[in-house]
Amino acid sequence: AQSVTQLGSHVSVSEGALVLLRCNYSSSVPPYLFWYVQYPNQGLQLLLKYTSAATLVKGINGFEAEFKKSETSFHLTKPSAHMSDAAEYFCAVSSSMRTGNQFYFGTGTSLTVIP
């Protein structure tokens, strides 16, 4: 079975500081991993995805994530936070079930950026 765990339901950083949002996965098969962002009153937007082509994945808005198999992690980072980065972030793992093709989401991390 696949699952993801996001450590820290709330993260606050100062504008210009490093953003680090943590995600650990559990999967019995090679996982496909994703980060989504949700701005207030909006749907989920894909930030980036891991497809096994490269362990360091670059996404939109300056975000990137590194797949570390030894640590079963897929943490999301951004070198310098902007005020506009304030949002809810969800890590997800894709299940290659026979028919379900289901996504499993983490509980989300709310990012606050302090001016």
Binding site for other proteins (CB under 8 A): 32, 34, 36, 42-46, 49-52, 90, 92, 94-97, 99-108
Dig out the tokens for 11 from the structure: 């993260």
Least distance between other proteins and beta carbon 83 (Å): 22
Token digits for 15?
């504008």
Q: How far is the CB of 31 from other proteins (least distance, A)?
A: 9
Whichever of 100 and 115 has its CB closer to other proteins, that residue is 100
Q: Which three-class secondary structure state does DSSP give residue 97?
A: coil
CA dihedral 34, 38, 39, 43 (to 10 degrees): 120
In this complex, which beta carbon is closest to other proteins, that of residue 28 or of residue 115? 28
Scanning the structure block, which residue is given the tokens 């980072």? Answer: 77
Q: Which is nearer to other proteins, 29 or 115 (CB)?
A: 29
CA distance 10 to 91: 14
CB of 26 to other proteins, least distance (A): 16
